[in-house]
Structure 1
């Protein structure tokens, strides 16, 4: 396999952590005795749903945008996202004195659109089933001279996301814990690439598992085949935050060597995990953001007798969707 020349390394995560100091929230590592008893394992949940803008995405966006030159900041930013990267980019742009224009699917959750508008970003809707967001973004860049900040195919984005894993590793070490398994959601693969790098540095033997929606389990299938697989559909899961066509080229170069396996969860399992997080951990997590916890709670990964760290990656959920979860409870 040939790898891109600009793969991030562990030192880039350390550098990103310094840049994010005082900007990003150091999110807590949560535990619950009832969940441990139910699972027969020791479970730690990294609550990135409590991060600035409500998801881990702020980390990578700020690490990338804060490095722009003054001339580039004057040109402005363009990004595409179903919502969490959009909010992270909009916030990081405002904090760094530039402006963001965000391409968002027309069916993006209302709470995520409102978050972008709050941070001063402009929202450009598109149809994710019929329009190509990369092509639309490239057209805006060409017409307006803006700088593209992609959701995952960027070494500084990956390094920024990896600071969530760095924090979790430091928190676990402070508690005297060594995880056997780390479970993280995977869309384009930027977060799990950075988290995997940070966790493997601290705990070389740890297993890294990807959690994805059923029907959009491109990482799981790619690990099985040894090549990047593509999903047949572009829509059709409640986990809007982690629906992507295929693993990124840059992220796959890391994930193909770091990941142990993948687990695919149903919409119902995501909703059930949302309720478990609310009931036992007292946090609100969106469907895509709770995928890792859902994979563990549904038994998709064997964790019996092990120490496990999962990431709850986003909490930007509309009331109607949360009510769907409550109805199942």
Structure 2
């Protein structure tokens, strides 16, 4: 299996330049002196999450004839809006299959970028997407299981290495594995002394189990669905798992209560709104210091699309 390379990520950076925000590294002045901390705020992307990087690269990599036939994606979260936005910027027709139980705010957000939203029962999303691909002759844009998606997400790691070349620890959330695969590939290539650690909710720790076992470990969807970190309920594919085995130095897990506290810290100390999934790496910094190397640390705040009621509840 061929893994994404640093050259692939650099090519992706050229493709997405001007389409995605080059997010800064924000210093957290309240952090421990022996663990200086910077935040990588991917919640500031136009669609509120890192997913715009991978979607933009995947669409830009298509040849003009293929792109003209349109794209299809299935998602009820950040990937839906990312594909819709990337398609809008390139003038590409987009059909996004979403569950009919999806909160209206996410449906409206996807439509706002000009995509045709198809609402179906949640169990029919994937089959409906494949049917549309066949009917339209369009291209399916997966949320993480594709080299172009991984390379696009890796552009965030390229920026970390450029902005803090002496970084010693990078904490990144893990779910389907596209973000951790891409960032890990870039950081390990450019900052060989850095440690890259994935972070998962305790209630969806399938990757931690898998890396210990040396193969993908399946968790029932009802188990993974218990965590408040709704963006981290997916499982790695064979492609992303192969990357994670290569580029991660380990995985730590955090509780839902710790995730909520990290959301509060981001909001009150750094004025950043993070969804639970985006706060997971900071939860590890705050509560798993004994399991982590000390030194210059970057925490990836992967997204900020949080339900208002949940945010109000977390902030108390």
Q: 1:200 aligns with which of 185, 188, 202?
A: 188
Q: CA RMSD in A?
A: 1.8
What is the 5 A alignment of 1:1-329? 3=1, 5=2, 7-36=3-32, 40-128=34-122, 131=123, 133-173=125-165, 178-234=166-222, 235-244=225-234, 246-299=235-288, 302-303=291-292, 305-327=294-316
| Alignment deviations for residues 180-231 of structure 1 (CA, whole Å, 9 cap, x no partner) | 2211011110010000011001111322111112221111111110001111
Deviation of 1:304 after TM superposition, in Å, equals: 6.3
User: Which ranges in structure 1 are unaligned for 5 or more consecutive residues?
Assistant: none
Cα distance change, pair 294–127 in 1 and its aligned pair in 2 (3 A): farther
CA distance in 1, matches of 2:180, 2:170: 10
Deviation of 1:127 after TM superposition, in Å, equals: 4.6
Moved more, 300-309 or 97-106: 300-309
| Alignment deviations for residues 105-154 of structure 1 (CA, whole Å, 9 cap, x no partner) | 445454433321110112334454xx164333222212332210001111
Moved more, 304-313 or 22-31: 304-313
TM-score, length-normalised on structure 1?
0.90
TM-score, length-normalised on structure 2?
0.93
User: Which ranges in structure 2 are unaligned for 5 or more consecutive residues?
Assistant: none
CA distance in 1, matches of 2:264, 2:62: 40
Moved more, 113-122 or 137-146: 137-146
| Alignment deviations for residues 297-324 of structure 1 (CA, whole Å, 9 cap, x no partner) | 1226634642211100101112111111
Cα distance change, pair 157–305 in 1 and its aligned pair in 2 (3 A): closer
CA distance in 2, matches of 1:242, 1:95: 27
CA distance in 1, matches of 2:295, 2:283: 17
CA distance in 2, matches of 1:110, 1:270: 25
- How many residues end up aligned between the 2 structures? 314
CA distance in 2, matches of 1:209, 1:231: 21
Cα distance change, pair 81–155 in 1 and its aligned pair in 2 (3 A): same
